[in-house]
Amino acid sequence: MNHYLLPITCILPNLDDGAKDLAEAVRMCHIAERDGIKILAATPHFRSTVYDNNQENILPAVGRLQKEVDRIGISLRIVPGVDILVSPEVIPFLGQNPRLLFGGRYALMEFPVQYIPPSIEDFFFRMRLKGFTPIITHPERNGDVQNNPRILEGMVNKGALVQVTTMSLTGDFGDQVRATALRLVKSGLAHVVASDAHSPRHRSPVLSKARRTL
97-112 pLDDT, tens digit per residue, is: 999 999 999 999 999 9
**Distance from C-alpha of 52 to C-alpha of 43, rounded to nearest angstrom:** 13
Q: The domain containing residue 167 runs over which residues?
A: 4-213
* Residues lower than pLDDT 70 in the chain: 1-3, 48-49
Nearest to 3 by CA among 165, 112, 173, 113: 165
Percent of the chain at pLDDT above 90? 78
pLDDT score recorded for residue 158: 86
Q: For residues 8 and 81, is the Cβ–Cβ distance under 8 A?
A: yes
The fraction of the chain above a pLDDT of 70, given in percent, is 97
Number of domains in the chain: 1
Instruction: Give dist(CA 100, CA 84) in Å, integer.
Output: 11
Tens of pLDDT, residue by residue over 5-41, are 778 888 999 898 889 999 999 999 999 999 999 999 9
CATH of the domain at 123: 3.20.20.140
Task: Report d(CA 201, CA 63) in Å as an integer.
Answer: 24
